[in-house]
Copies of this chain bind each other. A is one copy, B any other.
Amino acid sequence: MGSKTYTISELAKEFGVTTRTIRFYEEKGLVQPLRDGQKRLYTPADRVRIKLILRGKRIGMSLQESVDLIDMYDPSRNNTQQLNSLIDKIAVRRDRLLQQKKDIDDMLAGLDEVQALCQTALGKRKKK
């Protein structure tokens, strides 16, 4: 029953952030770990939340945006109203994500070109 918990430094180490960062997320209400006396205890669910937040960060989302996104994943107490507006929000997000994907592909293509230039500039001496 006592499913696994994590200490703050375990998670910090796993995700490559400082403990300060994780505490900061708590200050902002992004996670609410349990306590063993003074010490914070993180459940697997907490761990996932942090993971998702950091994933959002990697593509330039603000912490709040990540949280908003995470909240979408839980259409628990939703009336028809809310479900419809949720669908709209999803559409907006999807558009942004697709734009970002395009941006990334463009950049990758650019990098390929430059790399090719570099290699022919170097390769002339090597292979042929």
Contact = CB atoms under 8 A, between A and B. Distances in A.
B122 A83 contact: yes
Nearest to A72: B114
- Interface of chain A, main secondary structure: helix
A66 to B, nearest CB: 10
Interface stretch (A11-19, A27-35, A97-105): A97-105
**What is the oligomeric copy number?**
2
A109 to B, nearest CB: 11
A106 to B, nearest CB: 7
B111 A90 contact: yes
Interface residues of A, number: 40
B94 A114 contact: no
A60 interface: yes
8 contacts: A55-B103, A58-B100, A58-B103, A73-B114, A75-B114, A80-B122, A86-B114, A90-B114
